Amino acid sequence: MLRFLLNLLKSPVKFYNSIFNFALLRLTNSNYSSFPIIVGKLVRRGKGKLIIGNHVKINSETYINPVGLGSKTMFYVGPEGQIKIGNHVGISSSLFFANESIVIEDYAMIGGGCQILDNDFHSLYSKDRPTQGLNVKSAPIKIEEHAFIGASSIIIKGITIGARSIVAAGSVVTKSIPPNEIWGGNPATFIKKNRLELQESNSFSYEK
């Protein structure tokens, strides 16, 4: 609440955006441990639940991060869906669409212009395809702690990104990625182990 009040004093635009975002999260099925730092205006749709942890930073404004390609941060949550964002998470101008579940764990970073989609949007069956939502498959997505998703990447349904792993910019992730690895491409494939993380894994304990 203190962060929200401080934002009101900075400028008329920030004042308006702060009021808008505060009302948006209060009037929708959304909970937060502490009010997130938000630059710009969020988009929040759907009747499902959005849960936001402590010290979350969200960019939803074009001039802050140009690799977001001018988009806002958008949360679409279906009636039975849930998006859960952990503590100290950074998000920039990205789309999250959950019919079932998307979980972003602590300290994960989501680069500009990413799409994280836990469903196919349309049926694989041609006669059902024109009706969005009819016989559409979905499966949970999890992005584990300290993972980094590079700009303009797409994460499809049923994927887990392992702790401390990196997805290169512009990748389409169609397979789950183990911890401490770097993947990239379309479709994303293994590039190499994240050796820095492996070297420190036995001796360094991340702050929680």
What is the rounded average pLDDT of the residues 184-191? 97
d(CA 76, CA 42): 11
Query: Average per-residue pLDDT in the chain?
Result: 87
- Position with higher pLDDT, 179 vs 68: 179
Concatenating the DSSP letter of every residue in 127-176 gives TTTTSTTTT--B--EEE-TT-EE-TT-EE-TT-EEPTT-EE-TT-EE-S-
pLDDT in tens, 26-41: 999 999 999 999 999 9
Q: Taking the CB of residue 171, how many other CB atoms lie within 10 A of it?
A: 25
pLDDT in tens, 135-169: 788 999 999 999 999 999 999 999 999 999 999 99
pLDDT in tens, 50-86: 999 999 999 998 665 555 455 799 999 999 999 999 9
**Distances from the Cα of 188 to the Cα of 43, 153, 173, angstroms:** 28, 10, 5
For the chain, the first-to-last Cα distance in angstroms comes to 22
* CATH of segment(s) 43-200: 2.160.10.10
100 strand-pairing partners? none
What are the residue ranges spanned by the domains of the chain?
43-200
Whether 139 and 100 have beta carbons less than 8 Å apart is answered as yes
